[in-house]
Amino acid sequence: MTSVEIRRVETNKKQYLALLLLADEQEDMIDRYLERGSMYVLEDDGVKAECVVTDEGGGVLELKNIAVEPDFQGKGYGKALVDFLIRTYAGQYMLLQVGTGDSIREIKVALEGQRIPTVSGKVEWMGSHIRSILTNEKYCGDVLLQKTFIQDCISKKVIPNTGQLPKYLIQNHHEGIVSREIFDAVQLEMARRNAKAGATRKSTPTGRGKYSGKHVLSNLLFCGECGTAYRRCVWTQHGVKRPVWRCVSRLDYGKKFCTQSPTLDEEPLQQAILAAVNAVMLDRDTLARQLAAVMEWELAPVLGESMSLADIDRALEELSSQFNSLLAEASANPAEDYTGRFRELSESTARLKERKAQLEGACQEQGRLQNRLRAVSAAMEHMTAAMTEWDEEVIHQLLEKVTVLSREKIRVTFRDGREIEQYVAQPKRRKLA
């Protein structure tokens, strides 16, 4: 970067639409924030990057869109824009929030697209590593002790501490590389997203939560207006039960946060989703390959590990030997200060134990996912040209998200990234005498 200039765009923002679409693939979604947002472009012998921020109220400035020309990604233009925003709006807002559309998978794609390597120099990012970075308290200068513990002295099995024992948070243990405000904001956002997925969703090593086998849409169906999940309700009128789906925000708070979300009857909603699936199934072979690729990516937290469980056990044994040797040395030289070396060994041991516990859990999940992959692949091989019956397992595997756009229209997002807008037929109401 030689002659970088960042300027605000006040009029004709759509002239940069092609660049905006790199980060947000739907023009109608861009239209929702473009005019009310503040747009900045970075010029360095031509426009190289852009961003749009919006005032969300409550002291929150949200980064809705940031994009860099593909040929110039990885050269620091995106970072320069973010640094500019931080300087420009310092003191005006309590929080600079990245738009809530980025999932772990999208962050992975962005990092790889900008050719940002992992700490080990690899070009491929694992979802588990990204999630670990986002939730690791060490990055803001804290240390949480006793995340794991040894179950018994015989098996010496290390298991995650999910409440069996107290945990101890040491704040300001070391100098952090991110502010506590940013770290806390990330934790709140991740908690919000987990809560939005419904009470049945659990965190798993794959990044794709467990789902209710009874109602798979509880984890897939979201409001296009407020982003909140939909919930299944059963209405009874004149003794006739009618299953419908409603926005949770609308159910809990009325029109306070969501004013237009429609109520959808279950049967026509399912038929609309099946129609979208059948449209994609015309290219069934390609979809099957893409599904297999997605499932293999979910298994990557195990397949991509640089250390096996045996490697970790050997490393732990070596650290234990070093600890005992250091203990003997410290006993022989009481005048010397060994605090730093003891702390280093203890922290290394804690990190390895935590890694071992995560890997053991991921291994268990891997077996389950492999079985699921074989079952779904077999189902798709025998699937007819048209899917006529609602199958919760198949729907769960094929779809990433279903967004309610209106009473008559939904957007079905497949796990390979494809999107189809589908018409929802309106049920005919029988007049009761």
Amino acid making up residue 323: F
Model confidence at 187, pLDDT cuts 50, 70, 90, reads confident
The residue-averaged pLDDT of 172-179 equals 81
Q: pLDDT tens-digit profile of 150-175? A: 765 556 677 777 666 666 677 778 88
pTM of the model: 0.37
Torsion sign, CA atoms 158, 164, 169, 170: negative
Question: What's residue 406's pLDDT?
Answer: 92
Q: Is pLDDT above 60 for 299?
A: no
The pLDDT mean for the chain works out to: 76
Q: Is pLDDT above 60 for 260?
A: yes
* Portion of the chain with pLDDT greater than 90, in percent: 12
**Residues 365, 210 contacting (CB under 8 angstroms):** no
Model confidence at 267, pLDDT cuts 50, 70, 90, reads very high
Question: Using CA atoms, how far apart are residues 52 and 311, in angstroms rounded to an integer?
Answer: 47
Task: Identify the CATH homologous superfamily for domain 5-99.
Answer: Gcn5-related N-acetyltransferase (GNAT) (3.40.630.30)
Q: Pairing state of beta strands 221-223 and 230-237?
A: unpaired
Question: What's residue 330's pLDDT?
Answer: 81
The residue-averaged pLDDT of 274-284 equals 78
Question: What's residue 9's pLDDT?
Answer: 93
Pull the structure tokens for residue 87.
Answer: 């300087």
Sheet containing 38-43: order of strands: 5-9, 38-43, 47-57, 60-68, 95-98
Question: What's residue 288's pLDDT?
Answer: 62
Q: pLDDT tens-digit profile of 372-430? A: 556 555 555 555 556 778 877 778 777 889 999 999 999 998 876 678 899 999 876 55
Distance in angstroms between the alpha carbons of the first and the last residue of the chain: 76
CATH 3.40.630.30 domain span(s) along the chain: 5-99
Alpha helices, DSSP H only, in 158-283? 180-196, 248-253, 266-281
Residue 167 vs residues 40, 163, 300, 367: alpha-carbon distances, Å: 45, 8, 29, 30
Question: What's residue 216's pLDDT?
Answer: 82
Q: Is pLDDT above 60 for 253?
A: yes
**Residues 401, 392 contacting (CB under 8 angstroms):** no
More confident residue, 270 or 351: 270
Question: What's residue 430's pLDDT?
Answer: 53
